[in-house]
Homo-oligomer: A and B are copies of this chain.
């Protein structure tokens, strides 16, 4: 089955505004864009997402997948985003079965807002099987944190956005920022779904421009058979809440790294599904909240004031 047809709608990610500072002086700064995108599924209004607008098609696809409204990309024929009217029109191949029922149960999650999750997200948790042998080398963790640190981002220009990134085998595959971090993770899910699809799919559909930055989000060229689950690492600037951890697990990611911390339910879910949750990751520091056996300590920092010691494997 061919990949769904996705538009590539673009819109500016920042806006310059005039503010007044503590001296009573005017200055110009950038703030992140934020726009509403109303999602229609087979002409039926489903939801309005507030987004930065970086990758709206993948956002919508990932949203539908993460909400379990569609099972795979094969269910989608096309996603057409038109910023002039703030609408994403989703055409499914066979409709969504019992959509009314499945959008009726509301869980308002932490986010750091009130995330709406249709359906019983937690119901899935016990069916998730993450690769038991997947590990992350400490040296690779440091590389990942550094890669994010060096990147040009909307955050550096305008602040007030969250970033998520997917690394496979230590290499950045896809990076996205959004005003809502759940949007960011949904966008990654959408991108992954396209890239998880068998090679056959890739012969058409929405491919990246020639010579595009790999992190732009095209299919990883050297991984025609998808993204090896055991080598996936998900990075987020946001907190590891339950919803964040569940979504990561649903995407088959065994290791999650956050610049921020974790909440109690995030931790409980991570422990339950066998996910290695790492937080407070900055420079050489981090805390592993769950399943530390997935970390290979090959780059233990030297204790302060002590002569260098060999790294411990």
A interface residues, Cβ below 8 angstroms from B: 15, 17, 19-24, 27, 29, 31-36, 46-51, 103, 106-117, 138, 158-160, 162, 179-183, 238-239, 241-243, 260-267, 284-289, 292, 295, 297, 300-301, 303, 312
**Are B267 and A114 in touch, CB under 8 angstroms?**
no
Nearest-neighbour CB distance to chain B for A270, whole angstroms, equals 11
- For this complex, 30 residue pairs linking A to B, each with C-beta atoms less than 8 Å apart, are A15-B264, A23-B300, A23-B301, A24-B297, A27-B287, A29-B287, A31-B262, A31-B267, A34-B110, A34-B266, A35-B265, A47-B106, A49-B114, A50-B109, A50-B265, A51-B110, A109-B113, A109-B180, A111-B114, A111-B180, A112-B112, A112-B113, A112-B179, A113-B181, A113-B241, A114-B116, A115-B116, A159-B260, A159-B261, A160-B263
* Given known A17-B289, A262-B31, A288-B20, contact A110–B241 (CB-CB < 8 A): no
A181-B112 contact, Cβ under 8 Å, with A160-B261, A300-B22 = yes
On whether A24 and B114 interact (CB within 8 A), knowing A107-B48, A263-B34, A263-B179, the answer reads no
Residues of B within 8 A of A260 (CB): 159-160
How distant is A276 from chain B, measured CB to nearest CB, in Å? 10
- Please indicate the chain B residues that have their CB under 8 angstroms from the CB of A49 in the complex: 108, 114
Given A159-B261, A181-B113, answer yes or no on A108-B34 (Cβ-Cβ < 8 Å): no
A158 CB contacts on chain B under 8 angstroms? 261
Q: How far is the CB of A14 from chain B (nearest CB, A)?
A: 9
Q: Are A110 and B21 in contact (CB under 8 A)?
A: no
Contact between A22 and B116, CB atoms less than 8 A apart: no
Select A111's contact among B32, B33, B112, beta carbons within 8 Å: B112
A22 in contact with B285 (CB, 8 Å): yes
